[in-house]
Amino acid sequence: MGPTALQQEAKAENMDWSPIWISMKTASLSIFITFFLGILAAWAVVLIRDGRLKMILDGILTLPLVLPPTVAGFFLLYLFGVKRPLGKFFLDFFSIKIAFSWGATVIAAVTMSFPLMYRSARGAFEQVDPNLTAAARTLGMSEWEIFRKVLLANAIPGVVSGGVLAFARGLGEFGATAMIAGNIAGKTRTLPMAVYSEVAAGNMDAANQYVLVIVVIALISVMLMNWAAMRTENRRR
Protein backbone atom coordinates (compact mmCIF):
# COMPACT_ATOMS: atom_id res chain seq x y z
CA MET A 1 0.00 0.00 0.00
CA GLY A 2 1.45 3.31 -1.13
CA PRO A 3 1.15 6.51 0.83
CA THR A 4 -1.64 7.85 -1.40
CA ALA A 5 -3.81 4.82 -0.71
CA LEU A 6 -3.21 5.22 3.01
CA GLN A 7 -4.17 8.86 2.82
CA GLN A 8 -7.34 7.99 1.00
CA GLU A 9 -8.30 5.44 3.59
CA ALA A 10 -7.72 7.95 6.34
CA LYS A 11 -9.93 10.41 4.52
CA ALA A 12 -12.67 7.88 4.07
CA GLU A 13 -12.65 7.13 7.78
CA ASN A 14 -12.89 10.79 8.50
CA MET A 15 -15.71 11.23 6.05
CA ASP A 16 -18.35 13.59 7.31
CA TRP A 17 -21.64 11.69 7.41
CA SER A 18 -23.71 14.72 8.36
CA PRO A 19 -24.63 15.77 4.76
CA ILE A 20 -26.18 12.33 4.20
CA TRP A 21 -28.16 12.57 7.40
CA ILE A 22 -29.24 16.15 6.71
CA SER A 23 -30.27 15.32 3.15
CA MET A 24 -32.28 12.29 4.23
CA LYS A 25 -34.11 14.35 6.84
CA THR A 26 -34.74 17.22 4.42
CA ALA A 27 -35.84 15.06 1.51
CA SER A 28 -38.17 12.91 3.66
CA LEU A 29 -39.86 15.79 5.44
CA SER A 30 -40.16 17.86 2.28
CA ILE A 31 -41.66 15.05 0.18
CA PHE A 32 -44.16 14.44 2.99
CA ILE A 33 -45.22 18.09 2.90
CA THR A 34 -45.04 18.42 -0.90
CA PHE A 35 -47.02 15.25 -1.50
CA PHE A 36 -50.06 16.47 0.43
CA LEU A 37 -49.81 20.12 -0.59
CA GLY A 38 -49.39 19.17 -4.25
CA ILE A 39 -52.36 16.79 -4.25
CA LEU A 40 -54.63 19.27 -2.47
CA ALA A 41 -53.59 22.10 -4.79
CA ALA A 42 -54.22 19.88 -7.82
CA TRP A 43 -57.65 18.94 -6.50
CA ALA A 44 -58.53 22.59 -5.88
CA VAL A 45 -57.46 23.61 -9.39
CA VAL A 46 -59.35 20.69 -10.97
CA LEU A 47 -62.53 21.74 -9.15
CA ILE A 48 -62.30 25.36 -10.35
CA ARG A 49 -64.66 25.91 -13.27
CA ASP A 50 -63.65 29.47 -14.14
CA GLY A 51 -61.07 29.06 -16.91
CA ARG A 52 -59.22 32.32 -16.31
CA LEU A 53 -58.85 31.84 -12.57
CA LYS A 54 -57.63 28.32 -13.27
CA MET A 55 -54.95 29.60 -15.62
CA ILE A 56 -53.69 32.27 -13.24
CA LEU A 57 -53.56 29.90 -10.29
CA ASP A 58 -51.81 27.26 -12.37
CA GLY A 59 -49.23 29.82 -13.45
CA ILE A 60 -48.44 30.83 -9.88
CA LEU A 61 -48.23 27.23 -8.65
CA THR A 62 -45.93 26.24 -11.52
CA LEU A 63 -43.65 29.28 -11.25
CA PRO A 64 -40.86 27.70 -9.15
CA LEU A 65 -40.42 25.07 -11.86
CA VAL A 66 -39.75 27.58 -14.60
CA LEU A 67 -37.71 30.07 -12.58
CA PRO A 68 -33.97 29.57 -12.12
CA PRO A 69 -33.57 28.04 -8.63
CA THR A 70 -31.46 30.95 -7.45
CA VAL A 71 -34.24 33.35 -8.39
CA ALA A 72 -36.77 31.22 -6.49
CA GLY A 73 -34.29 31.21 -3.59
CA PHE A 74 -34.03 34.96 -3.85
CA PHE A 75 -37.79 35.27 -3.43
CA LEU A 76 -37.69 32.89 -0.47
CA LEU A 77 -34.99 34.98 1.13
CA TYR A 78 -37.10 38.02 0.44
CA LEU A 79 -39.97 36.41 2.37
CA PHE A 80 -38.15 34.61 5.15
CA GLY A 81 -35.16 36.91 5.71
CA VAL A 82 -34.81 38.10 9.32
CA LYS A 83 -35.97 41.60 8.44
CA ARG A 84 -38.64 40.46 6.00
CA PRO A 85 -42.34 40.10 6.88
CA LEU A 86 -42.59 36.31 7.28
CA GLY A 87 -39.12 35.92 8.75
CA LYS A 88 -39.75 38.73 11.21
CA PHE A 89 -43.08 37.23 12.16
CA PHE A 90 -41.54 33.87 12.98
CA LEU A 91 -38.68 35.52 14.87
CA ASP A 92 -40.92 37.83 16.89
CA PHE A 93 -43.67 35.40 17.78
CA PHE A 94 -41.93 32.03 17.90
CA SER A 95 -38.33 33.09 18.29
CA ILE A 96 -37.48 30.97 15.27
CA LYS A 97 -34.91 32.19 12.85
CA ILE A 98 -35.72 30.57 9.55
CA ALA A 99 -33.11 31.79 7.11
CA PHE A 100 -29.88 29.76 7.28
CA SER A 101 -31.40 27.15 9.60
CA TRP A 102 -32.10 23.49 8.80
CA GLY A 103 -35.77 24.38 8.33
CA ALA A 104 -34.74 26.60 5.44
CA THR A 105 -33.45 23.56 3.52
CA VAL A 106 -36.93 22.03 3.87
CA ILE A 107 -38.62 25.23 2.73
CA ALA A 108 -36.34 25.37 -0.32
CA ALA A 109 -36.90 21.70 -1.17
CA VAL A 110 -40.69 22.00 -0.77
CA THR A 111 -40.85 25.12 -2.91
CA MET A 112 -38.80 23.63 -5.71
CA SER A 113 -40.39 20.18 -5.73
CA PHE A 114 -43.98 21.37 -5.27
CA PRO A 115 -44.71 22.21 -8.95
CA LEU A 116 -43.68 18.73 -10.06
CA MET A 117 -46.01 17.13 -7.56
CA TYR A 118 -48.84 19.52 -8.30
CA ARG A 119 -48.59 19.18 -12.07
CA SER A 120 -48.29 15.38 -12.02
CA ALA A 121 -51.24 15.05 -9.66
CA ARG A 122 -53.34 17.46 -11.70
CA GLY A 123 -52.51 15.58 -14.90
CA ALA A 124 -53.40 12.30 -13.23
CA PHE A 125 -56.71 13.71 -11.93
CA GLU A 126 -57.62 15.07 -15.34
CA GLN A 127 -56.94 11.67 -16.88
CA VAL A 128 -59.68 10.15 -14.73
CA ASP A 129 -62.83 9.69 -16.84
CA PRO A 130 -65.06 12.70 -16.06
CA ASN A 131 -68.03 10.34 -16.23
CA LEU A 132 -66.72 8.65 -13.08
CA THR A 133 -66.90 11.84 -11.04
CA ALA A 134 -70.24 12.73 -12.61
CA ALA A 135 -71.56 9.26 -11.76
CA ALA A 136 -70.28 9.61 -8.21
CA ARG A 137 -72.09 12.93 -7.87
CA THR A 138 -75.39 11.55 -9.15
CA LEU A 139 -74.97 8.69 -6.65
CA GLY A 140 -74.86 11.27 -3.88
CA MET A 141 -71.22 10.96 -2.88
CA SER A 142 -69.80 14.10 -1.25
CA GLU A 143 -66.97 15.96 -2.98
CA TRP A 144 -64.53 14.80 -0.30
CA GLU A 145 -65.66 11.19 -0.74
CA ILE A 146 -65.32 11.54 -4.52
CA PHE A 147 -61.84 12.94 -4.09
CA ARG A 148 -60.72 10.02 -1.96
CA LYS A 149 -62.61 7.09 -3.45
CA VAL A 150 -62.82 8.04 -7.10
CA LEU A 151 -60.34 10.73 -8.11
CA LEU A 152 -57.33 9.82 -5.99
CA ALA A 153 -57.95 6.07 -6.08
CA ASN A 154 -57.95 6.05 -9.88
CA ALA A 155 -55.05 8.45 -10.25
CA ILE A 156 -52.63 6.63 -7.94
CA PRO A 157 -50.03 5.62 -10.54
CA GLY A 158 -49.75 9.18 -11.86
CA VAL A 159 -49.74 10.66 -8.37
CA VAL A 160 -47.05 8.25 -7.20
CA SER A 161 -44.81 8.96 -10.15
CA GLY A 162 -45.28 12.66 -9.41
CA GLY A 163 -44.13 11.87 -5.89
CA VAL A 164 -41.03 10.16 -7.25
CA LEU A 165 -40.15 13.18 -9.35
CA ALA A 166 -40.78 15.54 -6.46
CA PHE A 167 -38.67 13.44 -4.10
CA ALA A 168 -35.80 13.40 -6.56
CA ARG A 169 -36.10 17.13 -7.08
CA GLY A 170 -36.10 17.73 -3.31
CA LEU A 171 -33.07 15.49 -2.80
CA GLY A 172 -31.14 17.27 -5.51
CA GLU A 173 -32.16 20.79 -4.56
CA PHE A 174 -29.19 23.14 -4.70
CA GLY A 175 -29.77 26.66 -5.96
CA ALA A 176 -32.59 27.81 -3.73
CA THR A 177 -31.04 26.00 -0.76
CA ALA A 178 -27.81 27.88 -1.26
CA MET A 179 -29.71 31.17 -1.27
CA ILE A 180 -31.88 30.72 1.80
CA ALA A 181 -30.14 28.03 3.85
CA GLY A 182 -26.53 28.57 2.89
CA ASN A 183 -23.85 25.92 3.14
CA ILE A 184 -23.17 25.54 6.84
CA ALA A 185 -21.39 22.26 7.55
CA GLY A 186 -23.34 20.02 9.91
CA LYS A 187 -26.37 22.28 9.75
CA THR A 188 -27.54 23.11 6.22
CA ARG A 189 -24.97 21.31 4.11
CA THR A 190 -27.02 18.78 2.19
CA LEU A 191 -25.52 16.16 -0.14
CA PRO A 192 -25.57 18.31 -3.28
CA MET A 193 -23.98 21.13 -1.23
CA ALA A 194 -21.36 18.73 0.10
CA VAL A 195 -20.50 17.52 -3.41
CA TYR A 196 -20.09 21.10 -4.52
CA SER A 197 -17.97 22.04 -1.49
CA GLU A 198 -15.70 19.02 -1.79
CA VAL A 199 -15.11 19.57 -5.48
CA ALA A 200 -14.48 23.25 -4.85
CA ALA A 201 -11.90 22.30 -2.22
CA GLY A 202 -10.32 19.77 -4.59
CA ASN A 203 -11.32 16.69 -2.55
CA MET A 204 -12.52 14.61 -5.46
CA ASP A 205 -12.54 11.36 -3.46
CA ALA A 206 -14.87 12.69 -0.82
CA ALA A 207 -17.08 14.09 -3.57
CA ASN A 208 -17.09 10.65 -5.20
CA GLN A 209 -18.46 9.06 -2.08
CA TYR A 210 -21.25 11.58 -1.70
CA VAL A 211 -22.13 11.14 -5.37
CA LEU A 212 -22.31 7.38 -4.91
CA VAL A 213 -24.65 7.77 -1.92
CA ILE A 214 -26.94 10.12 -3.88
CA VAL A 215 -27.11 7.76 -6.85
CA VAL A 216 -27.98 4.79 -4.63
CA ILE A 217 -30.69 6.65 -2.68
CA ALA A 218 -32.23 8.04 -5.88
CA LEU A 219 -32.22 4.69 -7.63
CA ILE A 220 -33.72 2.79 -4.71
CA SER A 221 -36.51 5.29 -4.15
CA VAL A 222 -37.48 5.42 -7.80
CA MET A 223 -37.59 1.63 -8.05
CA LEU A 224 -39.58 1.27 -4.82
CA MET A 225 -42.26 3.70 -5.95
CA ASN A 226 -42.47 2.21 -9.44
CA TRP A 227 -42.95 -1.18 -7.89
CA ALA A 228 -45.73 0.16 -5.66
CA ALA A 229 -47.50 1.75 -8.63
CA MET A 230 -47.25 -1.45 -10.64
CA ARG A 231 -48.77 -3.48 -7.84
CA THR A 232 -51.90 -1.34 -7.51
CA GLU A 233 -52.38 -1.57 -11.28
CA ASN A 234 -52.05 -5.34 -11.45
CA ARG A 235 -54.46 -6.00 -8.64
CA ARG A 236 -57.46 -4.88 -10.71
CA ARG A 237 -56.74 -6.70 -13.94
Q: Which of 129, 185, 212, 220 binds another protein (CB under 8 A)?
A: 129
Backbone angles phi, psi at 2, to 5 degrees: -80, 170
Residue (91 or 141) nearer to another protein, CB: 141
Contact window for another protein (CB under 8 A) among 40-48, 147-155, 168-176, 202-210: 147-155
Contact predicate 214/171, CB 8 Å: yes
The reply on whether position 138 binds another protein by CB under 8 A is: yes
Mapped onto helix, strand or coil, the DSSP state of residue 220 is helix
Give the CA-trace dihedral at 52, 55, 61, 67, to 10 degrees.
Answer: -120
Whole-number Å distance between alpha carbons of 19 and 193: 8
Residue (7 or 142) nearer to another protein, CB: 142
The reply on whether position 131 binds another protein by CB under 8 A is: yes
The reply on whether position 96 binds another protein by CB under 8 A is: no
H helix or E strand, kind and range, residue 50? none
Contact window for another protein (CB under 8 A) among 18-26, 65-73, 130-138, 159-167: 130-138
Contact window for another protein (CB under 8 A) among 14-22, 118-126, 141-149, 202-210: 141-149
The reply on whether position 154 binds another protein by CB under 8 A is: yes
Rounded to a whole number of angstroms, the minimum distance from the CB of residue 189 to another protein is: 43
The reply on whether position 52 binds another protein by CB under 8 A is: no
What length is written for the chain? 237
Question: Please, how many CA atoms are within 13 Å of residue 72, restricted to the half-sphere of its CB?
Answer: 26
Question: In 3D, which of 75, 58, 63, 29 has the Cα closest to residue 167?
Answer: 29
Q: Which of 7, 70, 127, 142 binds another protein (CB under 8 A)?
A: 142
Rounded to a whole number of angstroms, the minimum distance from the CB of residue 146 to another protein is: 9
The reply on whether position 141 binds another protein by CB under 8 A is: yes
Rounded to a whole number of angstroms, the minimum distance from the CB of residue 34 to another protein is: 24
Q: Which of residues 7-26 bind another protein (CB under 8 A)?
A: none
Contact predicate 170/26, CB 8 Å: yes
Give the CA-trace dihedral at 54, 60, 64, 70, to 10 degrees.
Answer: 160
| Residue 140 Ramachandran class (φ > 0 left, ψ -120 to 50 alpha, else beta) | left
Task: Note the residues at the interface with another protein (CB under 8 A).
Answer: 129, 131-132, 134-142, 145, 149-150, 153-154, 236-237
